[in-house]
Amino acid sequence: MNEYHRDGAMRVDGNYGAAPAYTPNSAGAWTAQPEVMEPPLDCAGAVWTYDPKDDPTDDCFRAGGDLWRVLTEDKKEILIQNTAGDIAPCTENIKYRHAVHCYLADAEYGEGFAKAAGLDINKVIELSKLNNRDLISATLSDKM
């Protein structure tokens, strides 16, 4: 397994330095290695690890979209401008991944963010059609 847990403040060996401490990330680091995972246990049927992202009925973007739709127009503009400003130093692949998430929450939200961040909305829409695993792969830093 390649888990991304890192020990606390008492580490004296560099603690992986500036490597990302989360997954997914744009460097492709810390990805799971299913080939070395524990095999499923035979309990009253097979038991296996579960990742909510693999569940097609799990809508991770509904709540964000619901919030967007109750904001007033001025609050929507503040949200977009603040986010675009905060994400400006990030690489383009990260901006596209975020734009896709905004678009999946609400098309208007995604379009507004893409415009503010100077991104191609058609590319955002195409990326939004991918499943989570393929979106991560398509937006790795070395692929954009």
8 A C-beta contact, residue 1 and residue 9: no
Q: Kindly report, residue by residue over 35-84, the tens digit of the pLDDT.
A: 888 887 778 877 677 777 777 788 889 999 999 999 999 999 999 999 99
pLDDT score recorded for residue 54: 74
With bands split at pLDDT 50, 70 and 90, how would you rate the model's confidence at 1? very low
Closest CA to 108 of 97, 124, 95, 96: 124
8 A C-beta contact, residue 80 and residue 116: yes
> Per the structure block, which two tokens stand in for 120?
């191609």
pTM for the whole thing? 0.69
Which H helix or E strand runs over 47?
A: strand 45-47
- For the cut 90, the answer to whether the pLDDT of residue 131 exceeds it is no
8 A C-beta contact, residue 144 and residue 93: yes
Which H helix or E strand runs over 25?
A: none
The CA-atom distances, in angstroms, between 85 and each of 63, 78, 97, 122 are 23, 10, 16, 21
Mean pLDDT of the chain: 86
Closest CA to 138 of 88, 94, 102: 94
Which H helix or E strand runs over 99?
A: helix 92-105
Q: Kindly report, residue by residue over 114-129, the tens digit of the pLDDT.
A: 999 999 999 999 999 9
> Per the structure block, which two tokens stand in for 139?
């937006």
